[in-house]
Structure 1
Amino acid sequence: MGAQGKTDEAPLPGGKKQQKTSKEVFFSVLPDKYEPLIEEVEEKEETPDERRKRKEEKKKKKKKKLKKYRKNIGKALRFSWRCLTAGLQSLASAYSTPLSAVATVVTEVNQAAGS
C-alpha cells in the first residue's frame, strides 16, 4: 500500500498535458466491541422551579466573581493612593524647606556617613 506515482499524461483541450498521480490511503481495523460515539440530545421541558434554581446559581456565580474583582481593584487603588500621598508628602517637605537648611542637612548627613 504505498504511493505509486503514475505518470500517465492526458492531453487537455488547451494543448497542455496533465499528470495523474495516486493518493495514499490508510485502512484500520475496528475492534469487535466498537461502539460509535453518538451524542444524545435531550429535549425535556424545564419546570419553573428548575429554571429559577439555575438562574439563582448563575447570579451567585456572577456575584462571587464581581466581589473578587472589587476586592482586587480596591487593593490596587489603596496601594496606589498610599504611594501617591507618600510621594506628595516628600515633595512638599523638600519644596517647603529653605535651601540653606537643605545644605546644612546634606553636610551633616555626609559627615555622619564618613565617620
Structure 2
Amino acid sequence: MGAQEEEEAPPPEKNKQHKNSKEVFFSVLPDRYEPLIEEEEEEEEERRRRKEEKKSRKKKKYKKYRKNVGKALRLSWRCLMLGLQNMASVYSTPASAASVVVTEVHRTAGSKA
C-alpha cells in the first residue's frame, strides 16, 4: 500500500517560482580606504593627460605663428600703402614741383650729416 500512495501523490510543480530571500553581507570599511584602480584606467588617464599637453603645446605654437604672421602682414600693408601714396603723389604733382621737392629733401639730409 505504501507504494500506491507515493504514486498517487501529485508531482511537485517545477514551473512554480518560489520567493526566496537573499543573504546580504555588510562589512565596515577602514578609515584609510582606497579604491582599487585598474591599470586600464591609469593608462587612459595618462593618455588623456598627454593628449591635453600636446594640444596646449600646439595651441601655443599656433598662437606664436599667428602673432608673427600678423606683424608681417601689417608691415607689408604699411609698405604697400606708403608706396602707393608716393606713386600717387608723383603722378599728381607737376614735374617742376617734384624736382624742387627732391632737391630740398637732399639738401636737408646733407646738412644733418
Structure 2 length as normaliser, TM-score?
0.51
Fraction of identical pairs, as percent: 29
Deviation string, structure 1 residues 47-86 (Cα, Å, up to 9, x no partner): 3321221121111111121012112211221121022112
**CA root-mean-square deviation:** 2.0
1:75 equivalent in alignment to 2:67: yes
- Structure 1 position 114, deviation (Å): 4.2
1:89 equivalent in alignment to 2:85: no
State the match for 2:12 in structure 1: none
More helix by share: 2
Give unmatched runs, 5+ long, in structure 2. Answer: 1-37
State the match for 2:58 in structure 1: 66
Q: Which has the higher contact order (CA 8 A, sep 6+)?
A: 1
Q: Equivalents in 1 of 2:105, 2:47: separation in Å?
A: 67
Which stretches of structure 1, 4 residues or more, deviate above 4 A after TM superposition? Answer: none
Give unmatched runs, 5+ long, in structure 1. Answer: 1-45
Note closer, same or farther for the CA distance 1:56–1:102 as it changes in structure 2 (3 Å cut): farther
Note closer, same or farther for the CA distance 1:52–1:102 as it changes in structure 2 (3 Å cut): farther
State the match for 2:47 in structure 1: 55
State the match for 2:30 in structure 1: none
Equivalent residues, number? 70
Aligned counterpart for 1:110 among listed residues 103, 106, 109: 106
More strand by share: 1
- Structure 1 position 104, deviation (Å): 2.6
Aligned partner of 1:108: which letter?
E
Q: Equivalents in 2 of 1:63, 1:81: separation in Å?
A: 26
